[in-house]
């Protein structure tokens, strides 16, 4: 099966409801077991740098200003001015009206500009408005678009509407990569997370993303595990690789490393690069920097050492 643009409502429903159900207890136990894995100190240093390179450093506040976005971009390019060996982050994630500021600040840095779009975070707007939102962000220079699905349509069983919105948004993205946000905290069941994953991948998503960061629960290990299984199985079936981005509520190095272990053990090492795995987070980077410095120096610097995210 490949990405199709034409599919009927009945075929899509039959396909999604024909997916094997998720073993809820099994998924939670497996995620909990992987979360207890300890890793060696040398591997921890590598894992911290890998995690930094996978961060989509995010600010999605009504009070965001150009100055705040510029400061965040500077931090993303050079997370620790005292240590040039610290890798840059993968992308800076902002609202569409801040894309131009981020593009200017990041020019030549290799850090991507991701923008939420399609009436983030609710997704409640007419399709024309969502597509205009997407086009505006792309025209301003966004290299990645993080769209939200219409959870109301999904939960009402109108899978075709969600599918068609993803297809149309992907077309509006042009060269920009499309991440599709499910808001898994609103999807209620793991079965729905699996269905949303396959629906988005069939519709052409480049990445599937757990959450907006505006709803609790946001990213969790079991939900991410279900999504990682989906991208693994989708690639086995179609040959096309899709990335995964847990986002929201990931704040500590310990959590980030748990996600990396989960990726390695579920989808496999092919996903352990910023091209295929991201951590969407507004405040994780500082903890990664503090733990990195502690590993290198043996001294815990404390949160005041680094600029605020």
Q: If binding is defined by CB under 6 A, does position 249 make contact with ligand G3H?
A: yes
Q: If binding is defined by CB under 6 A, does position 248 make contact with ligand G3H?
A: yes
Taking the C-alpha atoms of residue 135 and residue 178, their distance in angstroms, rounded to an integer, is 12
Q: If binding is defined by CB under 6 A, does position 253 make contact with ligand G3H?
A: no
Q: Name which of 174, 113, 180 is nearest 147 in CA terms.
A: 180
Taking the C-alpha atoms of residue 67 and residue 71, their distance in angstroms, rounded to an integer, is 6
Q: Which residues contact 233 (CB under 8 A, 6 or more apart)?
A: none
209 is a catalytic site residue: yes
Q: If binding is defined by CB under 6 A, does position 280 make contact with ligand G3H?
A: yes
Binding region for ligand G3H (CB under 6 A) out of 131-139, 148-156, 241-249, 292-300: 241-249
Of 72, 90, 93, 288, the one binding ligand G3H by CB under 6 A: 93
Taking the C-alpha atoms of residue 258 and residue 263, their distance in angstroms, rounded to an integer, is 9
Count of other CB atoms within 10 angstroms of residue 165:
22
What's the Cα-to-Cα distance from 190 to each of 193, 194, 196, 219, rounded to whole Å?
Answer: 5, 6, 10, 13
Q: Which is nearer to ligand G3H, 92 or 201 (CB)?
A: 92
Torsion angles phi and psi, residue 170, rounded to 5: -60, -40
Task: Spot the catalytic one: 170, 245, 258, 287.
Answer: 245
- CA 123 from centre of chain: 17
Q: Which is nearer to ligand G3H, 92 or 263 (CB)?
A: 92
Q: Nearest approach, Cβ of 283 to ligand G3H (angstroms)? A: 6
Strand segments (E) across 126-197: 144-148, 177-181
Q: What is the dihedral of CA 284, 56, 155, 15, to 10 degrees?
A: -120
DSSP, res 180: E
Of 57, 60, 99, 176, the one binding ligand G3H by CB under 6 A: 60
161 is a catalytic site residue: no
Name the residue number minimizing CB distance to ligand G3H: 213
Q: Nearest approach, Cβ of 154 to ligand G3H (angstroms)? A: 19
Binding mask 195-234 toward ligand G3H (x if CB under 6 A, else -) reads: -----------------xx----x----------------
Task: Spot the catalytic one: 56, 80, 133, 146.
Answer: 146
Q: If binding is defined by CB under 6 A, does position 281 make contact with ligand G3H?
A: yes
Ordered strands of the 279-281 beta sheet: 243-245, 207-209, 177-181, 144-148, 112-117, 91-94, 55-58, 279-281
245 is a catalytic site residue: yes
Binding region for ligand G3H (CB under 6 A) out of 23-31, 197-205, 232-240, 242-250: 242-250
Q: Which is nearer to ligand G3H, 112 or 249 (CB)?
A: 249
Q: Which is nearer to ligand G3H, 64 or 233 (CB)?
A: 64
Q: By three-state DSSP, how is residue 150 classified?
A: coil
Handedness of CA 56, 61, 66, 67 (dihedral sign): negative
Count of positions on this chain that bind ligand G3H (CB under 6 A): 13
Q: Nearest approach, Cβ of 72 to ligand G3H (angstroms)? A: 12
Q: Give the residues lining the site for ligand G3H (CB under 6 A).
A: 58, 60, 93, 212-213, 218, 247-249, 280-283
Q: Which residues does the annotation mark as catalytic?
A: 146, 209, 245
């Amino acid at each position: 099966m490949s990405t199709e643009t034409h599919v009927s409502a009945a075929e899509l429903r039959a396909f999604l409801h024909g997916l094997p159900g998720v073993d809820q207890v099994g998924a939670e136990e497996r995620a909990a077991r992987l979360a207890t894995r300890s890793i060696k100190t040398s591997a921890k240093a590598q894992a911290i740098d890998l995690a930094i390179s996978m961060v989509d450093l995010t600010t999605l506040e009504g009070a965001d200003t150009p100055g705040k976005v510029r400061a965040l971009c500077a931090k993303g390019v050079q997370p620790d001015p005292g240590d040039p060996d610290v890798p840059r982050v993968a992308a800076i994630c902002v609202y569409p009206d801040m894309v131009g500021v981020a593009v200017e600040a990041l020019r030549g840095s290799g850090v991507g500009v991701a923008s939420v779009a399609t009436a983030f975070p609710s997704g409640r707007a007419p399709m024309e408005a969502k597509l205009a939102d997407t086009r505006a962000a792309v025209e301003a220079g966004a290299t990645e678009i993080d769209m939200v699905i219409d959870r109301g349509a999904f939960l009402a069983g109108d899978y075709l509407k969600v599918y068609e919105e993803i297809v149309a948004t992907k077309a509006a993205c042009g060269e920009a990569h499309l991440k599709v946000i499910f808001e898994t905290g609103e999807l209620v069941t793991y079965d729905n997370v699996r269905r949303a994953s396959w629906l988005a991948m069939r519709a052409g998503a480049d990445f599937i993303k757990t959450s907006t960061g505006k709803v609790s629960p946001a990213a969790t290990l079991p939900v991410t595990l279900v999504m990682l299984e989906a991208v693994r199985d989708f690639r086995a079936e179609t040959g096309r690789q899709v990335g995964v981005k847990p986002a929201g509520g990931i704040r500590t190095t310990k959590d980030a490393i748990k996600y990396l272990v989960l990726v390695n053990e579920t989808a496999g090492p092919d996903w352990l690069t910023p091209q295929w795995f991201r951590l969407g987070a507004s405040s994780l980077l500082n903890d990664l920097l503090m733990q990195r410095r502690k590993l290198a120096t043996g001294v815990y610097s404390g949160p005041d050492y680094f600029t605020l995210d």
